[in-house]
Homo-oligomer: A and B are copies of this chain.
Amino acid sequence: MAATNASGTTTVRYGGMRAHVLALEVVLPGGRVIRTGSRARKSSAGYDLTALFVGSEGTLGVLTELTLRVHGIPEHAVAVRISFPTLDAACGTAVAAAGAGLGVTRLELLDAETMRAVNAFNGTALEESPSLFVELAGAPAAVEGDLEALQELAEENTSFAVERDPTARARLWQARHNVLHALVAAYPGKEHFATDVCVPVSQLPAAIAHARAELDRAGVEATIAAHAGDGNYHVLFMLDPADPAELARARALNAAIVDWALEHGGTCTGEHGVGLGKIAYLVHEHGDLLELMRGVKALFDPNGIMNPGKVLPEPAGAPG
């Protein structure tokens, strides 16, 4: 389920989606069809089962219909690409822009390595340095005022490109949209493995500096992209599938990155979900909630037939 929020072009899960999902049709494991929520913007009618299903990764029921709250297309929008001499300068500007009350509708960060891959893939000549991609939207006068404020906040920039025409804006955003394709093309034969922590936005510069330092210390090649407006960032490892040591190193780095995020008020997964790969991190983050979560799972899916084995760890002493 895709949505555009402060994190822009990404697919977001329930942390970002909940406010936009008004109602659901769900098929329960026994085949019964239920409807949660309503088309009203708010409701206090009983427990919020809509929120419980959104982000449950198919483990409680099958979502067959979603009613979303939609928003009008803004009257005016500009797309901005800003280059910085350092990752820290880009992160600092992102935090300032996210907190300044500007009409920021997308706020994305790509590191220098990602920009290099994007240039190679798209045949472009963009500055290969840490870059922010920003969308400002709203009334024309407000957008132009916000643009001036953004330029002041980005005082360390080495380039500041603004596009107003819809076609040019789409071209500017294409660099961001193509990131995964660009990285796959830049590392032929490799497989990608991504971290997904989300931290309080104010912690983003320190979080990314920590991740970058850990990567450098381990001598591991990886790129960093952030949905900076949400404090959500991904370290993307491109791994040789024939070398299990590479995956082991990436996993160890991911563990260090998750530990740092949890120590600083964050979460192990901003949008990708738990699945199988983050069950141990969920235990670390919400160990005190596992009993309740298991109870919810047993209530909705007593026979354990919905996406079995995902999200929650097997109870201690259980087979397998």
Residue-wise interface mask of A (10-38) relative to B, using a CB-CB cutoff of 8 A (1 in contact, 0 not)? 00111110110000000000001011101
Residue-wise interface mask of A (154-182) relative to B, using a CB-CB cutoff of 8 A (1 in contact, 0 not)? 00000000000000000000000000000
Query: Is B47 a contact partner of A288 (Cβ separation < 8 A)?
Result: no
Q: What is the chain B residue whose CB lies nearest that of A75? A: B101
Enumerate A97-149 residues with CB–CB distance to B below 8 Å: 99-101, 103, 138-142, 144-146
Residue-wise interface mask of A (269-290) relative to B, using a CB-CB cutoff of 8 A (1 in contact, 0 not)? 1111110001001100110110
Query: Is A12 a contact partner of B42 (Cβ separation < 8 A)?
Result: yes
A79 within 8 A of B: no
Q: How many residues from A make CB contacts under 8 Å with B? A: 82
Q: What is the chain B residue whose CB lies nearest that of A32? A: B288
Query: Is A269 a contact partner of B139 (Cβ separation < 8 A)?
Result: no
A87 within 8 A of B: no
- By a CB distance below 8 angstroms, the chain B residues around A265 are 38-40
Enumerate A260-309 residues with CB–CB distance to B below 8 Å: 261-262, 265-274, 278, 281-282, 285-286, 288-289, 292-293, 295-297, 299-300
A201 within 8 A of B: yes
A18–B54 Cα gap in the complex (Å)?
A: 13
